Amino acid sequence: MKKLLPALLLFLFMNFLVVAQEAPDFEGTDTHGNVHQLYADYLDNGITVVLDLFFVDCPPCNELAPQMQPLYEMYGSGNADVQFLSISSNPADNDSYINGFEDMHGTTWPSIGPDGGGAEIEAVYTNGDYGEFFGYPTLVVIAPDRSVTYDVWGSSIPETVELLDAAVADTGATGEVAVAAPTATYDYEVMDGTVTFTDSSTDAESWMWDFGNGETSDEQNPTVTFMESGDYTICLTVTNEGGTDEICNEISVVVENTSVGNLISAGMEVYPNPADQVLNLNFELDKTDQLSIEVTDLSGKVLNQVANGLFIQGQHQIEIPLDNLSSGLYLVEIETPSLKGTAKFFVK
C-alpha cells in the first residue's frame, strides 16, 4: 500500500522527480483489444500520457480510480491532448477481471493488463530508474517531449488528484479537443457543358471552388455551365478550425453549341454570352420563309416566344430581353417548316 507523505513535501518531491531520462516507447493491447503505442499514438501527436500503475485488488487503487474519472473527463476523455492508461502486471488481473474493475468504478480510460504487455510496460517504472518505487498505485506523467514526472502522490486521494492535474497541466496539456483538418474530395457529373459538383469531403465547414474558367463558388454543391469545350482544372478548397485542404482534378467538357441543320448559311451567333439583360441574336436566312424564334429551358419548355412570322432572305439581328429569366442555361431556337437551328446561352 502507498505511504501518504505530507502534501508540501510531496509537491516538492514531485517537481524533483521530473527527470531528464526520456520515457522509452512501448506497445500494449488493452483489455478491449485496442493497441496503444506510446510514441506513434500519443507523444508524437502532442498528447500527454498518464500511466496509472495498479492492480485490481489494491485498496488505494480502488479508492483512487473513481476520483480520477472526473479529471479524465476534464481533459477530454482521451479525445483531446491527454490520455490515461492503467497498467497492471499482476498475473491475476486478466482482461475480464480488469473490465470488472472498470465497470465497478465507472472508469472509461483504457487498461493494459499482463495479457496485453502490462508487465513489460510497468517494469520500466518500478526498477528504480525514475526514482524509488513505493507501491501501488503509482502515477507517472509522460509529456510529449518524453520527459517523465514520476510518482505523483499527495497526503490524500483528493490531493493526489489535484497534484496529478497540476503535473498534467505542466506538460502544456489543455484538454481542448483537437479539430481534425478536413480532407477535400468531390464527385462530378458532366452533361452537355453543364457540370454538377458534389462535395464528398470529410469534416469541412466551408468550401471554395475554382472552376478554371474564371468563375468561383462558395456553395457546397455547385453547378456550373461552361461556354467552350476544353479541359478545365477544377480545384476545391475546404476549411475548418483544424486547417485547410485542397484537391484539383482536370475534367474534360464538350459544349454542343452549334446549329442543327442547314437553316443558317452564315452561322448563328448569340452574344454576349453569358448575357445579362439582353441577348443579341444574329442569323442569316438562305431564303424568305415562315420562321419562329423561341427561348426555352433545357427541358424544352418555351419561356419566351420571341417572333413568329415571315422573314425575308438575308441577315437578321434581334434583341431578346432577358428580364424574366433567372441565372442559368437556356436555348434559343430558330425554326422554319423544314429546318431548325439551336444555340445555347447563359444568363448571369
pLDDT for position 285: 81
Dist CA 22 CA 140 (whole Å): 12
CATH no. for 7-170: 3.40.30.10
For residues 21 and 150, what is the distance between their CA atoms, to the nearest angstrom?
Answer: 11
Residue 334 near residue 289 (C-beta atoms within 8 A): no
For position 261, what pLDDT does the model report?
40
**What's residue 336's pLDDT?**
81
The cell for 133 is 518505487
From the list 138, 150, 149, 4, the residue with the least C-alpha distance to 58 is 138
Type of residue at 255: V
Round to whole Å and give the CA distance between 326 and 348: 8
List CB contacts of 244: < 8 A, sequence separation 6 or more.
181, 182, 237, 238
171-210 core/surface letters (b: 16 or more CB in 10 A; e: else): bebebeeeeebbebebeeeeeebbbebebebebbeebebb
Whether omega for the bond prior to residue 272 falls within 30 degrees of 0, making it cis, is: yes
Q: What is the pLDDT of residue 18?
A: 54
CATH code of 186-253, in short, is 2.60.40.10
The whole-number pLDDT of residue 237 equals 97
Place of cell 437553316: 263
**Common-topology check for domains 186-253 and 269-347:** yes
Which residue in 166, 165, 135 sits closest to 151, CA to CA? 135
CA atoms within 13 A of residue 238's CA, in its CB half-sphere:
20
What local confidence, expressed as pLDDT, does residue 342 receive?
83
Do 137 and 23 meet the contact criterion of CB atoms below 8 Å apart? no
User: What is d(CA 59, CA 208) in angstroms, rounded to the nearest whole number?
Assistant: 58
Q: What number of other Cβ atoms are within 10 A of residue 241's Cβ?
A: 11
What are the pLDDT tens digits along the chain (348 aa)? 444 444 344 444 443 355 558 999 999 999 999 999 999 999 999 999 999 999 999 999 999 999 999 999 999 999 999 999 999 999 999 999 999 999 999 999 999 999 999 999 999 999 999 989 999 999 999 999 999 999 999 999 999 999 999 999 999 999 987 678 899 999 999 987 889 999 999 999 999 999 999 899 999 999 998 878 889 999 999 999 889 999 999 999 887 644 334 444 346 888 998 998 999 999 888 888 899 999 998 888 899 999 999 998 888 999 999 988 998 888 998 888 777 788 888 898
The residue extents of the domains of the chain are: 7-170, 186-253, 269-347
**Paired strand residues for 291:** 309
CA dist list (Å): 323 to 18, 20, 273, 280, 348: 76, 76, 15, 14, 11
Q: What is the CATH number of domain 269-347?
A: 2.60.40.3080
Residue 176: per-residue pLDDT: 85
Give pLDDT, residue 147.
95
Q: How many helices (H) and strands (E) does the chain have?
A: 5, 22
